[in-house]
A = this chain, B = another copy of it.
Amino acid sequence: MDSMPTATGPRAGEAGGEQGRAVPPRPTNPMVTPLLTDLYQFTMTYAYWKAGKHQDRAVFDLYFRKNPFGGEYTVFGGLEECIRFIANFKFEVDDISFLRSVMPTCEDGFFEYLKAINCKDVEVYAIPEGSVVFPKIPLMRIEGPVAVVQLLETPFINLVNYASLVTTNAARHRLVSGKSKTLLEFGLRRAQGPDGGISASRCCYMGGFDATSNVAAGRLFGLPLRGTHSHAFVSSYMGPDEITDKALCRRDGSSTCQDFVSLVQTWLSKIQVMKSGVPNFCAVALALSDMGYKAIGIRLDSGDLAYLSTVARKFFCAIEEEFGVLDFGKMSITASNDLNEETIDALNKQGHEIDAFGIGTYLVTCYAQAALGCVFKLVEINNQPRIKLSEDVTKVSIPCKKRCYRLYGREGYPLVDIMTGDNEPPPKVGERILCRHPFSESKRAYVVPQNVEELLKCYWPGNSGISPPRSDVHNGTTSAELPSLKKSRERCLQQLEQMRPDHMRRLNPTPYKVSVSAKLYDYIHFLWLNEAPVGELQ
């Protein structure tokens, strides 16, 4: 269809592509435009403009407060789409006309201002996509003119929230399934809309899935495609008589079997001992084997999957032994039918012979927890720190433009993430550093890191080819290219493996520690006391 713009992202093979991209392409979904935002962003932008504050330099942090799914980790997704979005951020004439109709009392000058907006004065620092991340640590730090950055809030959160949630869900499914299993994402039909389906396929691959059934996503992101068949296909046949062309050529072309159906039936008569579809499959597989082909395997889509997979495996092994068909016992068994983390865990405990899991509804709709609550908070304006206070301490924001580091211990595990003020010297390998809980006075620990990783890298402007890296601005911070999806997937799997196992277990995981430097701690509490009203008990 010509409504699928060819500009829509990389096509087949991208996931395997290794080279950085010169110009970020448009957002994958053409509906991601500067109008995809909340009305109040425009009314606030107007108010900033009207007050002459629109150019005030602001720093916003995008972060979440709580890990999803009762776990103690999250995987960050959605960065590439954010960068694509700001790289192409521009109001079209139609957009402006629409906004005029929505805000009829605003001056022409405001719409002239909107028309001229782009993101060349915006800087985006972010943790690389596919990284394991934790609450309170900014996933992204966005700096720029306050009115412009305000317009980015809603689309950025929209693009990050679901992507991170579903990537995390995929990673959890990978961890519970184990490395050796094949994981197939079959969620398109149950996803929350077409885009839920397409972005889920990308994110699930990043989180450790092997393939998807979603053809459009396969094309857009170069994902491996896999599928089975539906019941309708079987029941569209009234019986074997409907098969008119019964001939099958040998795989090597050397001869043709004129009646492959009879060949199958001959095999069936030799093996039909159980009331199930398995002998039918085996008869076809054996007849195919006679002709030089190798059947792929079976899918179990209902019933007791652990039991049925064990029975099927025994049957396959018995056939291998009885008829001497090499590797018949290793025939692939795929299971589906409302699978999720819990059911896979239960299957593992029972014991099973399943090679591949096809997972749909629970994976892509994140049924166990359908939303992640990323927020976008002002932490500094015109070099003045801003703090958001709340009676609920988990809602207090951490002020100031910050740097973030991950400190690694002797055994290679990450020990703690630490935030510092932008101008503090970075933690050094081998030097003792005090890590403090941001809000709790008594929680603090000294750490001597064996390795220090700076988490936030500059993605915009950066080595993107659109604007030159501005070394004066992000001096000392690594400029970063958007990696290929395959690289992000490798990063994700590698980081999941690198975490201390007690943070990752399903039951009662240990929280990973997130801290601030002593200096930032003091500053937070100085601001807090200064700004918090003193209550009166009545």
Question: Hey, which bits of chain A sit against chain B, CB under 8 A?
Answer: 1-8, 11-12, 26-40, 42-44, 47-48, 50-53, 56, 58, 60, 88, 90, 92, 94-95, 98-99, 101-102, 146, 150, 153-155, 157-159, 161-163, 166, 186, 188-200, 213-216, 218-219, 225-233, 235-238, 242-245, 275, 302-303, 361, 365-367, 369-374, 376-378, 381, 384, 386-388, 390-392, 395, 533, 535-536
Contacts and interface: CB of A to CB of B under 8 A. Distances in A.
A120 to B, nearest CB: 16
A78 to B, nearest CB: 9
Given A92-B1, A196-B195, A365-B371, A157 B275 contact: no
Given A31-B194, A39-B225, A43-B227, 10 more contacts: A28-B31, A35-B215, A37-B215, A43-B229, A44-B229, A50-B245, A102-B225, A154-B189, A361-B373, A365-B371
A39 B215 contact: yes
B194 A29 contact: yes
A243 B51 contact: yes
Given A193-B158, A373-B361, A236 B39 contact: no
A158 B533 contact: no
Contacts of A199: 193
Contacts of A238: 381, 384
B536 A189 contact: no
Among A102, A162, A216, A238, max chain B CB count under 10 A is at: A216
A361 B365 contact: no
Contacts of A235: 378, 381, 386-388
A188 B158 contact: yes
Contact of A381 (B158, B236, B387): B236
Contacts of A157: 189-190
B377 A371 contact: no
A303 B366 contact: no
Among A50, A99, A361, A365, max chain B CB count under 10 A is at: A365
A30 B194 CA distance: 10
Contacts of A33: 1, 3-4, 216
B390 A158 contact: no
Copies per complex?
2
Contacts of A365: 192, 370-371
Among A227, A302, A387, max chain B CB count under 10 A is at: A227
A166 to B, nearest CB: 8
Contact of A42 (B196, B215, B361, B371): B215
B195 A193 contact: yes
Contact of A161 (B99, B190, B372): B190
Contacts of A26: 1, 3
Contacts of A189: 38, 153-154, 157-158, 161, 374
A495 to B, nearest CB: 24
Contacts of A370: 192, 365-367, 370
Given A33-B1, A38-B186, A43-B227, A191 B162 contact: yes
Given A31-B30, A225-B102, A158 B191 contact: yes
A53 to B, nearest CB: 7
A167 to B, nearest CB: 13
Contacts of A42: 215
A158 to B, nearest CB: 5
A191 B158 CA distance: 7
A212 to B, nearest CB: 8
A85 B338 CA distance: 28
A138 to B, nearest CB: 15
Contacts of A158: 188-191, 193-194, 197
A44 to B, nearest CB: 5
A479 to B, nearest CB: 26
A370 B340 CA distance: 14
B31 A195 contact: yes
A121 to B, nearest CB: 17
Contacts of A302: 390-392, 395
Ranked 5 nearest A-B pairs via Cβ:
A195-B195, A40-B227, A39-B227, A192-B192, A365-B370
Contacts of A376: 232
A361 B371 CA distance: 7
A53 B242 contact: yes
A245 B107 CA distance: 15
Contact of A194 (B6, B36, B44, B214): B36
18 contacts: A1-B34, A1-B92, A32-B194, A35-B215, A35-B219, A36-B197, A37-B188, A38-B213, A39-B218, A40-B228, A47-B233, A102-B215, A102-B225, A158-B189, A158-B193, A193-B196, A365-B370, A366-B370
B198 A38 contact: no
Contacts of A194: 27, 29, 31-32, 36, 155, 158-159, 195
A275 B536 contact: yes
Contacts of A159: 193-194
